[in-house]
Amino acid sequence: MATNDDAFTPVRIPAREVMPPPTISAAAQRNLSTGAGNPRMNWPPASDIEAWRRHVANVDPVREALFTTMLEGVKTPIETTHIAGVLCYDCVPEGHDAARDPVYLFVHGGAFVAGGGVFAKAVGGRAADSIGVRVVSVDYRMPPEDPFPAAPEDCVAVYQALLETIDPARLVIGGSSAGGNIAAAATLMIRDRGLPLPAGTVLLTPEVDLTESGDSFTTNAELDVILKGGLPDCNAIYAGGHDLTDPFLSPLFADYTKGFPPTLVQSGTRDLFLSNSVLIHRKLRGAGIEAELHVWEAMPHGGFLLGDVPENAEIQAEVARFIRRVTA
Amino acid sequence: MATNDDAFTPVRIPAREVMPPPTISAAAQRNLSTGAGNPRMNWPPASDIEAWRRHVANVDPVREALFTTMLEGVKTPIETTHIAGVLCYDCVPEGHDAARDPVYLFVHGGAFVAGGGVFAKAVGGRAADSIGVRVVSVDYRMPPEDPFPAAPEDCVAVYQALLETIDPARLVIGGSSAGGNIAAAATLMIRDRGLPLPAGTVLLTPEVDLTESGDSFTTNAELDVILKGGLPDCNAIYAGGHDLTDPFLSPLFADYTKGFPPTLVQSGTRDLFLSNSVLIHRKLRGAGIEAELHVWEAMPHGGFLLGDVPENAEIQAEVARFIRRVTA
């Protein structure tokens, strides 16, 4: 990687108003427009632990109502359980063949500091509904109480427990946003500890670079209606004083020539994390790892919000196809 | 496709200065910075044919000097020839096995109105150098004298002549920018006329939508240092009065459920044609066609200009791998 040079000439772009494009579904256009007025997220500084506790206590009930509605729409039966001592939501579709079918270990997003509980349960259930496989959604420990490496360690512990009864050739690890980071980090830990690798890894708009060095942190700032700007405070409180370039904190900087499973990477052209996605896709391929990239038109971070949006269903269809292929 | 709605709320983005990111090679950073001051291209209106003739007569000598230097660096022997009456540059690497090796029919870019002659010869030779296969670069007819469908018809004629001695399982059609459009259109014509399909299609930052409806025509305007904005005049003079949504003019609107070869699609996150690329990738996959997407960090339209840029070499390496795979 080269360092930036103050002598370089910047590109100058005038102020602009950007409408939803006609090239996406009507539902996606509506969601982009609805999101257009969103303020930036207002996270506390990483140094103020008490402010974090208050922040989470304030926002959790608001979010919980939304996620409870999401959860009510889930058809797959969900068992709340502990695996290797880690809280998990085990979403097992009807007809699941425990001896043969794929199992998707899913790591929820939420900027490393949110998204446990009802959200983790609802997104696990929705993934099981749409992908049609058993999903184990991990409610990993989070800061401020439990910073790095608690989250990927929890995922590795669950994976190791699943290995007792499930062939790794049937296991896929994946996650979205912060969950994509943790899924990649857990897979690297699995590799470096000599455990058998899963059959595949799914990185949905992943925050794989906590230094946020990618170009889209500038070019898609404000344009992404979900993530208006980077999350340095969340990244710092998660890192808990560790160097942000540590490959287990920023998997973009890992050495993939030592091996990694086939990987699906997803993003959108308006995604603040578009650069994260294309950079890790290229890094994997440069190391000879089989990796496929899927980028959706005008999509912000994390998909076109909630609701029945055809493009969101397309993501799940690609993930389903990928999981079936790598576990076949 | 849904239509846009005036009632939608736009995203408001303030004026900004965007530096080259530290996540790309030093050579790429230099080229982005060099390009930052480029003015918009100044094409004549499509209605003024005489202005087009003068414009081309003025710019050709300047470009020719640059492309002659490019051509001098080419190692592969190039024969200037006619195939099916169409001017071509046949670039045959040493050791090419005429009975077994892949052949890459390449369609040069240049906004449908430029890029013939020395440029077509030089890019064909460079492709042969870096990919290591025989490249037949087509110097197709262009407007204002010869608008659509002259260009794809020339490519189909060359393809059909090559079929007399070459198994289609060894043939790949590809092109860059306008050439990506023409390569896709020619492949659709080949299909619809019942000719055997090539083994693969390569669409490098392709102008597959002459209506320029994609989001990146807005979001990457000015940011792309090569193409600061769309090319409606070039598209109009090429279309010669035909409906721009005709699938042979805008292959994005074709029906791919009728079949298409495996396809490699390339773009960059700063590419004005990023939306073209992701939209056709998704459209192909939605129709069940095998298609792979490769997007480079901060790359503008057509790659990081000329010169020895590692990212440009990476594109050629992916194309080489793809051609070897689909013709294996």
Structure tokens at B293: 């997407």
Question: In 3D, which of B311, B267, B102 has the Cα closest to residue A274?
Answer: B267
Contact A92, A137 (CB under 8 A): no
Contact A161, A84 (CB under 8 A): yes
C-alpha distance from residue A146 to each of A130, A297, B295 (Å): 32, 37, 36
Q: CA-CA distance, B92 to B128, in Å (whole number)?
A: 7
Contacts of A215 in chain B (CB under 8 A): 21, 23-24, 269-270, 297-298
ipTM given for this complex:
0.96
Supply the pLDDT for residue B2: 44
Contact A39, A222 (CB under 8 A): no
Mutate to test the interface with B, among A23, A32, A319 (most CBs of B within 10 A): A23
* Residue with the two structure tokens 């083994």: B199
CB atoms within 10 A of CB B321: 13
Q: Identify the band that residue B1 occupies on the pLDDT scale cut at 50, 70 and 90.
A: very low
Residues 6+ apart with CB under 8 A from A230: A212, A217, A221, A272
For residue range A39-97, list pLDDT tens digits in order.
787 788 888 889 888 887 777 777 888 899 999 999 999 999 999 999 999 999 999 99
The three-class DSSP label of residue A297 is coil
Q: What 8-state DSSP symbol labels residue B93?
A: -
For residue range B261-275, list pLDDT tens digits in order.
999 999 999 999 999
The residues pairing with A202 across neighbouring beta strands, listed in sequence order, are A174, A264
Structure tokens at A100: 């043969």
Supply the pLDDT for residue A6: 60
For residue range B28-51, list pLDDT tens digits in order.
999 999 888 887 877 888 888 898
Check CB contact under 8 Å for B282 and A269. Answer: no
Contact B281, A269 (CB under 8 A): no
Supply the pLDDT for residue B35: 85
Check CB contact under 8 Å for A295 and B296. Answer: no
For residue range B80-91, list pLDDT tens digits in order.
999 999 999 999
The three-class DSSP label of residue B32 is helix
Nearest CA in chain B to A252: B23
Check CB contact under 8 Å for A269 and B29. Answer: no
Average pLDDT for residues B218-231, to the nearest whole number?
A: 94
Encoded amino acid at A7, one letter = A
Contacts of B297 in chain A (CB under 8 A): 214-215, 275, 278-279, 282
Supply the pLDDT for residue A46: 84
Among A262-266, B284-288, B308-312, the minimum mean pLDDT is found in: B308-312
Q: CA-CA distance, A104 to A91, in Å (whole number)?
A: 10
Check CB contact under 8 Å for B282 and A296. Answer: yes
Of A17, A213, A294, Cβ closest to residue B12: A17
Structure tokens at A322: 């990928």
Average pLDDT for residues B136-145, to the nearest whole number?
A: 96
Structure tokens at A117: 């509980």
Check CB contact under 8 Å for B275 and A285. Answer: no
Q: What are phi and psi of B285, to 5 degrees?
A: -65, -40
Calculate ∠ Cα B153-B156-B161, nearest 5°.
125
Distance (Å) from the alpha carbon of A282 to chain B's nearest alpha carbon: 8
Residues 6+ apart with CB under 8 A from A83: A90, A136, A157, A158, A161, A162
Contact A164, A193 (CB under 8 A): no
Please, where are the H alpha helices in chain A?
26-35, 49-72, 118-131, 150-163, 178-192, 216-219, 232-239, 274-286, 310-326
Q: What are phi and psi of A76, to 5 degrees?
A: -70, 130
**ω into residue A149 within 30 of 0, thus cis?**
yes
Contacts of A285 in chain B (CB under 8 A): 294, 318
The domains of chain B, with CATH numbers, are 49-326 (3.40.50.1820)
Of A22, A216, A269, Cβ closest to residue B216: A269
Q: Is the pLDDT of residue A166 over 90?
A: yes
**ω into residue B147 within 30 of 0, thus cis?**
no
Contacts of B216 in chain A (CB under 8 A): 269
Question: In 3D, which of A175, A169, A167 has the Cα closest to residue A139?
Answer: A175
Contact B137, B260 (CB under 8 A): no
Supply the pLDDT for residue A36: 84
Q: Identify the band that residue A168 occupies on the pLDDT scale cut at 50, 70 and 90.
A: very high
Average pLDDT for residues A208-230, to the nearest whole number?
A: 96
Q: CA-CA distance, A105 to A122, in Å (whole number)?
A: 14
* Residue with the two structure tokens 């460079």: B126
Q: CA-CA distance, A311 to B5, in Å (whole number)?
A: 19
Structure tokens at B211: 């209506």
Rg value, chain B, Cα: 19
Check CB contact under 8 Å for B9 and A37. Answer: yes
